[in-house]
Every structure is written in C-alpha cells, then in structure tokens.
Amino acid sequence: MHPENPMTKYFTSPTQIQNGESGGWLIQARFRIAQLRPLKAIGTTAFILLFFWGYFGVMRNPWSAPTMMPLTIIDESIPFTPLAFGFYASLWLYVSLPPALLLNVRQLLAYGFWIGALCVFCLLIFLVWPTTIPEFDINWSKYPTIKLIKGLDISGNACPSLHVATAVFSAVWIQHILRLIGAPRVLSTASIVLCVLIVWSTIALRQHVAIDALAGIAVGLIFSFASLSIKIPLGRE
C-alpha cells in the first residue's frame, strides 16, 4: 500500500469537495466566494442603497424632537481619535463578508431577511424615538472627512447604533462560517478584533456615545443568534 499523499487535500477538485462542504478550509472558502458572485455583488449593493434610502427618509421625517443621549464614564475614557476613521469605514467591507461566503440562494435570502429585519427594527426606533448625541468641543473643520459624515447625519439617529449592530451581526455569522469550514483560529480572532475596533471607532470619532454602542451590541447579538437558531443549512454542520 502506498501512503496517502498529505498534499492531496490541497488539490481537491470541485466535485470532490462536495459543493464546498469538504476539503481544506481555503478550498472551501474559495469555492464559497466563487458561487453566485454576480448575484452577491448586485444584491449587496442593492441592499446598501435600499438601506440608505430608508435611513435618510427616516432622518428627514422623525416623529418627534430627538432625545439627547447622556455621556458615561466609558465615553470619558475613550479619547477622540481621528485615525479611527479607517476602522469606522471598514464596516462596509466587513458586512459584505458573510454573504460572500454563503453557498446558495436560500442562504442568501435567509441572511438578507435577518439583517434586513435588524435594519428595519432600528429604523422604526429612530422614527418613533429619535435620539442624538451631545455637541463636542471639537473643531470639525480640521477633519473634513469626519465633518462630511456628520453633515450627512442630520438628526443623529444615535441609539441603537446601526453601525455597531450590523458589525456584531456580521461578526457572529463570520465566526459561524469560519467554524464550519475549519478555518484557522487566527482568522476568527482577527474578525473579532476588527469588530471590536469598529465598535470602538464609533465612540472614538464621536459618532456615538457608549449607550448607543451597547444597545447596538445587544441588537446585533439578538438578531444574529435568532437567525442562526433557525437551521438553514450553511454547509457541513
């Protein structure tokens, strides 16, 4: 008998990996990303555009004057950090990772439904109970990129932070998929670290206060665990 070649798993054909459910983790990840690539790109873009249409619509038509969110010791301990903008902006790449790693239309529809439900839930809160954050003694003209974002965010819509909620929702799904394909622990750790940095950046840029971020974490966890509790086959489980 000839010993099995340990390199075989790295050269498994698409048929042998059984629709992306076996083989090395990198093979599985590549296979998943290749599936329905145009649909994923168009769907993600359309979802983001639809979200902003709803978001700006709610911003311009609040049902009442916004409530000012209070500062806490957490806010006082996190200094204003303009360099956090890179992590703040990375959300738009981060939220595209889970759908990119899904295998079929059923999974994409399930994911889209749940993250859509999360966004609708937060938008309804913004509509019924608009909130804002205090004015900070910062010369925003020195930071034109941050000033542009603040100029777009008319009424605030601070609590819960949708930025944080969608980051946490994405993080839970990414962890789940990475576990399914047997990805190295360093990737899971890197994903968690990036999610934490995104959450931190919302406070460090004075886009949100700590209460907004904590509420966003709660919303993201509730919707992500609810979505994964319904057994939609995501691969080898």
Task: Name the residue among 110, 87, 107 with its Cα closest to residue 198.
Answer: 87
- Find the angle CA(178)-CA(50)-CA(68) to the nearest 5 degrees: 90
pLDDT at 146: 77
The span from the CA of 213 to the CA of 200, in Å, is 8
pLDDT at 157: 63
The span from the CA of 167 to the CA of 174, in Å, is 10
pLDDT at 150: 67
In a structure prediction context, what are the per-residue pLDDT tens digits for the chain, which is 237 residues long? 444 433 333 333 444 444 445 568 889 989 999 998 899 889 888 888 888 787 777 777 777 777 888 899 999 999 998 899 999 999 989 999 999 999 989 899 999 999 999 999 999 988 888 888 888 878 777 877 777 776 665 555 678 999 999 999 999 999 999 999 999 999 999 999 999 999 999 999 998 999 999 999 999 999 999 998 876 555 554
Is the CB of residue 191 less than 8 Å from the CB of residue 174? yes
Which residue carries 């979802």 as its tokens?
47
User: In this structure, what are the phi and psi dihedrals at residue 31, rounded to the nearest 5 degrees?
Assistant: -60, -45
pLDDT at 158: 76
Task: Supply the pTM of this predicted model.
Answer: 0.83
